[in-house]
Structures are given as C-alpha cells and as structure tokens.
Amino acid sequence: MASPQQINNLQNSFQSAVNLGGSPGIVSTSPTQSFMSSVPRRVSASRQTKALKPFSTGDIKILLLENVNQTAVEIFNGQGYQVEFHKSSLSEDELIEKIRDVHAVGIRSKTRLTEKVLKHAKNLVVVGCFCIGTNQVDLDYAAKIGVAVFNSPFSNSRSVAELIMAEVISLARQLGDRSIEMHTGTWNKVASKCWEVRGKTLGIIGYGHIGSQLSVLAEAFGMQVLYYDIVTIMALGTAKQVSTLDKLLSESDFVTCHVPATEDTKNLLSAPQFAAMKDGSYVLNASRGTVIDIPSLIQAIKAGKIAGTALDVYPHEPAKNGAGAFNDELNSWISELVSLPNVILTPHIGGSTEEAQSAIGIEVAANLSKYINEGASVGSVNFPEVSLRGLDLDQENVVRVLYIHHNVPGVLKTVNNILSNHNIEKQFSDSSGDIAYLMADISSVNQSDIKDIYDQLNATEYKISIRLLY
Ligand SMILES: NC(=O)c1ccc[n+]([C@@H]2O[C@H](COP(=O)([O-])OP(=O)(O)OC[C@H]3O[C@@H](n4cnc5c(N)ncnc54)[C@H](O)[C@@H]3O)[C@@H](O)[C@H]2O)c1
Ligand SMILES: O=C(O)[C@H](O)COP(=O)(O)O
C-alpha cells in the first residue's frame, strides 16, 4: 500500500491509496479515514457478482506484458496495486488464463486483445497500450463491455522520425551493405549510385505525429517534402500536401509510410504503386507490416525499379527476442529479401529508445491510475471522455458514481432518480456511439446508502458497468 510520499510528483493529482476495512458484502472504510478511495469490484449485467465485495487499491491487479517500461511499474507500485510483470507477450491460451482476474492490462504492439480473449476478463476495467498503435485491441468490443483503452499518442514519434532520417541517409549511401561487407572482411570503396539527400524529395504517406515531425527533420537536411494524407493537414515549413498518392509516388525519391493499420492501408503500396514510383527510388516502412506488400516490393527491387528499402515492421512479428524467433514460414519471402542489395531490416525498434519508453510508461500509467482511482477517461481511444474535478479529500460522505451504459433515451432520468435523495455536487455525461458514460459526485451519503445506490443502479436495464469511488 502506498503512502502519499511514495507517489511521485507526476501523480500529485491522484488520490493516495487508502487501505479499506471492508466488511463482507458492504463497502466500508475504517473510522479513522475521512475519505475512502477504493475501486469496488466492477459488476456488469453479463458478469454480475453475487455480493458487492469492495477492495482497496491494494486489491487492484495489473498484468504488464511486453517489457513495459519500469517507470510504469514504479507508478503502479506507488499506487499500491498488485503488479505482475512479463518481459514478452503471452500465447493466446496463457493470456486467457492471466486476464481472467485482473483489473488492468498493459501491453505494447504484439499482444492481441481480441473479443475471444476479452470475453474471459471478468474484472477488467481498463487496458493500456504502452505504444501509439491500438490496432492490436478490439476497441469496439472493449467499449461494449465497459473497458476503456488508453495509449500514448505521441511519446515515441520523435524516435521513429529520427530512425527514418537515419535510414534515408543509410539507403542513399548504401551504409547497410558497406557495413556488412566490412564485417565480413571486404573493402568496397564506391561512389556509384551513392547520393547526398540534400535537394532530394521525401514523400511522406500519413502526415500525423510522426510524418509531420519527420518533415521538419528532413527539411533541416535540405530535402523537399511532399505528403499525402486522407485529411487536409497544415504543412510545416515548406512541405506541400499533394492530392493523390500517385502524385506523391511519381515525384518522390524516398517514400515513407506513417499510417495506421486499417482496412484502407492494407497493401497501400503494392505492385501498381511501386510501378508508379521514380526509377531508383527508395521505400521505407515503420508503420505496420500490413501496409506494404513485401513480395511485390521484392519484385520491384529485383527489376531495378526500387534502389533499396528499410523495413521496421512485418506482417508476422515474433512475441519475444532471440535467434530464430522470426517466423520464416509465416514470412516466407524473408530469404529472398535478405539476399537483395541495400535492404535494411530492423526488429520493430522505431519507438524503442530510452526517452520514448520512459515517457510512454509515465503517460500511460498515469492515465490508467487516474481512470482506476478517479474514473477520468480523458485521452481514452474507445470511450466517451469524461472527467470531474478531483475528489475532495476533505469532504466526508461523498461518493463518486461511475456509470457506463448503453446510449439510449431515459438513462439520466432513471439514474438521477436513484441519486435524488442525495445532493448531486457535480455531474458530467458523454456518449460515443452506442456507449455512454456518466460521472456524478454525490454528497450526504451514509454507509447504509451505498449498497442501496449500487443495487438500484445495478438493476437498471441500460447498465454496462458501475463503480462507486469513496
Ligand atoms: N515502428 C514503430 O515502432 C512505430 C512507432 C510508433 C508508431 N508506429 C505506427 O505508425 C503509425 C503512425 O503513427 P502516428 O503517430 O504518426 O499516427 P497519427 O495518427 O498521428 O497519424 C497517422 C496519419 O495517417 C493518416 N492516414 C490514415 N489513413 C490514411 C490513408 N489511407 N492514406 C493516407 N493517410 C492516412 C491520418 O489521417 C493521420 O494523419 C501508427 O499507427 C503506428 O501503427 C510505429
Ligand atoms: O505503435 C507503436 O507505438 C509502435 O509500433 C511501437 O510498438 P512497441 O511498443 O511494441 O515497440
């Protein structure tokens, strides 16, 4: 259990963890506490527990996978949560077993939280993606069962942009090949088909956090920047947005992908797109492995159309590090690809820097803790964004009601009727698609009222899940 001193400055806005002495079936606090800060067992229509059994922050179980940064572990430990930490991701069967009882899961890009997996999570309240991409989580299903999902939208953008700049220069100078040659005892001093990047055109597909950051770096190297995006985005520096992908492909010396994995971006670059590119141009991908059709890329390199490529992401990536981990059967093109010149392959390290991982750990752990302790969903990627001013620690007999429900008419009337014997100090409600989230702080609540409020809310037909914080 954390003392306030253990909770670092970044968490000053959080409630400190307070030990609760809950008697069975009733949510309660010890007489010495002026305020209760607990996360009662989440009960949903489909996964209802028989008794309302409360627990303190010390009862919160967090499963962290994929070597999530220690900054996050420290924050969760500081909150007093129970933390289970794994360096790699888990197989589906292991994940199903582990996810059963936990209240929060922290993952990176490898762990697939599908509907099948999430169905086994009986107490899950929140998922943290300690990365940018969230395509590995079934976001709609998570929302449907009242599970909020958070990510870190830009903490590793700079790291990816810097890697791409390094690779642009490496491809232009054939650095990968020269280095391999030297490692194997070959001195091969050549200038033919080696270029400066100054004055060349970089074509960026997807001008979001990473694409726009890269744009600034590339211009500092004297490159011209074109970008293609499905939305109109303000250009940084002297970059120019082009209206079609074909225009970008036909005018760029380097083409780099920074789009999310969606149905629309699947095989965004395939044989016709490589054919539309300039002779001797280069292709880079540090977005997702689905975005580039690698067999077609191999053909374009073999035909001399593409002069080199740098890939950081692949259709099937290993769950853990190690020799032989990369699955050559699933990625059957690999032996042909590595036999080609000027091919730089990295193991999905775009965001893997100390700075990025540390910042991501802090950001996502802070958001998860705030959601668990206060119910604040601001920044969630699949949920209505709701927040109220922090719980007032000096005020006694105040309860925060967190009510996630189906977005249908009549809910506010019903809920406020249930809460009407108490003073509603603050209330906020928002919806996103079929899901809505109501947060209310009510005062003048006695111990005996709490179970009654809970039971009444629990009986409402629109309820997805309820938590009472006090
Ligand atoms: N290699 C790594 O380690 C690493 C690290 C971080 C992010 N990523 C990947 O990079 C992706 C991009 O990251 P970001 O932070 O820049 O995301 P972002 O959401 O800030 O930007 C993505 C941009 O792509 C645009 N876009 C979407 N679909 C498009 C399409 N069909 N055609 C053209 N543009 C399209 C969007 O409008 C948006 O501007 C992430 O989704 C993630 O998958 C990889
Ligand atoms: O989505 C992301 O942020 C990147 O793909 C990095 O993922 P990782 O945390 O698994 O390296």
Q: Is 198 exposed, middle or buried (0-12, 13-18, 19+ CB in 10 A)?
A: exposed
CA of 89 to the centre of ligand 2 (A): 13
pLDDT tens column, 42-76: 333 233 333 334 437 888 999 999 999 999 999 99
The yes-or-no verdict on residue 394 having pLDDT over 60 is: no
Q: Is 131 in the pocket of ligand 2 (CB under 6 A)?
A: yes
* 359 C-beta closer than 6 A to ligand 2: no
Looking at all shown ligands, the one closest to residue 262's CA atom is 1
Over residues 335-347, mean pLDDT: 98
61-151+359-371: in CATH 3.40.50.720:
yes
Mean pLDDT computed over 352-364:
98
pLDDT of 85 > 80? The answer is: yes
Cβ–ligand 1 contact at 228 (below 6 Å)? yes
**In the chain, where the domains are located:** 61-151+359-371, 161-345, 384-469
Catalytic residue among 41, 42, 258, 348: 348
Ligand 2 pocket check for 133: Cβ under 6 Å:
yes
Buried b (16+ CB within 10 A) or exposed e, 241-266: bbeebeebbebbbbbbbbbbbeeebe
Q: Which of 215, 247, 259 to mutate to test the pocket of ligand 1 (most atoms within 8 A of CB)?
A: 259
SS3 184: coil
- In this prediction, residues 178-192 reach a mean pLDDT of 98
Asked if domains 61-151+359-371 and 384-469 share a fold, the reply is no
Closest CA to 11 of 355, 368, 270, 401: 368
Say if residue 361's pLDDT is above 70. Answer: yes
3-state secondary structure of 172: helix
Q: ipTM higher than 0.85?
A: yes
Please state whether 14 falls in left (phi above 0), alpha (psi between -120 and 50) or beta: beta
Whether ligand 1 lies within 6 angstroms of the CB of 239 is answered as no
Q: What percent of the chain has pLDDT over 70?
A: 87
In angstroms, the CA 334 to CA 389 distance is 53
Given a cut of 70, whether residue 127 has pLDDT beyond it is yes
Is 120 part of the annotated catalytic residue set? no
Indicate the top mutation candidate among 65, 156, 363 to test ligand 2's pocket, ranked by most ligand atoms within 8 A of CB. Answer: 156
CA distances (Å), origin 47, targets 50, 140, 275: 10, 18, 54
- For 384-469, the fitting CATH number among 3.40.1190.20, 3.40.1160.10, 3.40.50.300, 3.30.70.260 is 3.30.70.260
Q: pLDDT of 225-263, one tens digit each?
A: 999 999 999 999 999 999 999 999 999 999 999 999 999
**Active site (annotated) includes residue 288:** yes
Q: Locate the ligand 1 atom nearest the alpha carbon of residue 207 and give its number.
A: 39
Q: Which of 108, 209, 258, 317 is catalytic?
A: 317
Return the pLDDT at 168. Answer: 99
Q: Which band of pLDDT confidence, cut at 50, 70 and 90, is reported for residue 392?
A: low
176 lines ligand 1 (CB under 6 A): no
Q: How far is CA 163 from CA 213, 274, 319, 345, 402, in A?
A: 12, 23, 22, 12, 42
> For helices 411-419 and 447-458, what crossing angle results, to 10°?
160
pLDDT > 90 in the chain, percent: 83
Q: Known catalytic residue: 112?
A: no
Which residue did the predictor score with more confidence, 109 or 9? 109
Indicate the pLDDT class of residue 176, thresholds 50, 70 and 90: very high
What's the mean pLDDT in 23-32? Answer: 23
Stretch 319-344: mean pLDDT = 95
Structural fold of domain 161-345: Rossmann fold (3.40.50)
Range picked from 24-38, 280-294, 446-460 for highest mean pLDDT: 280-294
Determine whether the shortest distance from the Cβ of 205 to ligand 1 is under 6 A: yes
Q: What is the 134 CA–ligand 2 centroid distance (Å)?
A: 9
- According to DSSP H, which parts of 207-253 are helical? 209-220, 245-251
SS3 for 11?
A: helix
Residue 127 sits at φ, ψ, to 5 deg, of: -120, 135
DSSP state of 454: H
Count H helices, E strands: the chain?
14, 17
